[in-house]
Amino acid sequence: MRLPGGRVLRATPVFDTYWRFAVERQEVFFRRLSGSAPPWTEDHVLRSFRFTNVYRASDRVSQYLIRRVIYEGSQEEEEVFFRVLLFKLFNRIETWELLEARLGPLTWKSFDFERADALLGAAIQGGVRLYSAAYIMPSPLFGAARKHTNHLELLRRMMEDHAPRKVFSARSLREIFQVLRSYPSLGDFLAFQFTVDLNYSELTRFEESDFVVAGPGARSGIGKCFSDTGGLGEDEVIHEVTRMAGQELDRLGLRFRNLWGRDLQPIDCQNLFCEVDKYSRVMHPEATPDGGRTRIKQRYVARPGSSPHWYPPKWKLSPCLG
């Protein structure tokens, strides 16, 4: 594939699989949403293992974050930032609901860090898992024995450092990322993920097409999809793939149902590279380099029924099943 400026992306067979996976995974989303009974696909890999939705905002945890965390409660800068970071530092719905049930409404103005720390510590002693398995949450080095204590301290320090004001006065997604990246334990991947989460709110007006950061899984997926990236960095590859989505789907004769008029964004294509990295372990085992992962860990259990989906109002989507 020739790019503007004469550079060439040399694709492998996995890149065709990237688009076929995107189409079928999105069809699973719509079939489930319509109330159809499982199985929602004949693809044996999709039926057997867990993969995120094509659109990041459609995933269960993102949906909960958008509807229940961001848009319920005060829309003041400090409160939105506080709720998003408190939720995302654990990234687990059950942890949020545990805190909410025992502490009442979760607000910066009333939050008792010591009580929350004790509550979460007791939960761990009772065998409760606090963190999502979606990705690793490194602990900031503040000296506490428990990771959750260090994360609560990180949030406290961010709030006292006026992080909400810095984030919501930023002039771009990149600037938000840079603010978050400056805090302990928030590396490139987490800082970018939190940037996208904060950008779901009404307090920012940045397009998701403006900025992307490739995570470790996406970098691995890019390595499987392209034998030569023409000197482009992974972030640039994601932008190019997002731009060429329509022509690539046409080339393969594929019909992709987008998100009620919303085209794929770089964050979605970034996630797709990560998911295809996993998918290819079964479908293209020859593409896995020596020493690379060869198995998909998380099994999928089909659960009939799906809640209505709800997206940031500024996207102006009208979810329907027609």
Segment 71-116, tens digit of pLDDT: 999 999 999 999 999 999 999 999 999 999 999 999 999 999 999 9
Pairing of strands 226-228, 10-11: antiparallel
97, 116 in Cβ contact below 8 A?
A: no
Residue 17 backbone dihedrals phi, psi, to 5 degrees: -60, -35
Mean pLDDT of 145-160: 98
Q: What is the DSSP letter of 209?
A: G
The whole-number pLDDT of residue 291 equals 83
The whole-number pLDDT of residue 322 equals 46
- The residues spanned by each domain of the chain are 15-58+212-315, 72-200
198, 312 in Cβ contact below 8 A?
A: no
In order of 15, 32, 54, 289, the CA distances from 10 in angstroms are 10, 35, 24, 18
Tell me: the pLDDT tens digits for 191-201? 999 999 999 99
147, 184 in Cβ contact below 8 A?
A: no
Tell me: the pLDDT tens digits for 284-314? 999 998 788 888 888 888 776 666 789 999 9
Tell me: the pLDDT tens digits for 33-69? 998 999 999 999 999 999 999 999 999 999 999 999 9
Nearest Cα to Cα of residue 242 among 7, 19, 38: 19
Nearest Cα to Cα of residue 224 among 293, 269, 280: 280
Max avg pLDDT among 30-34, 158-162, 288-292: 158-162
Q: What is the DSSP letter of 199?
A: T
Nearest Cα to Cα of residue 251 among 19, 8, 10, 11: 19
Q: What is the Cα–Cα distance from 9 to 222, expressed in whole angstroms?
A: 11
208, 192 in Cβ contact below 8 A?
A: no
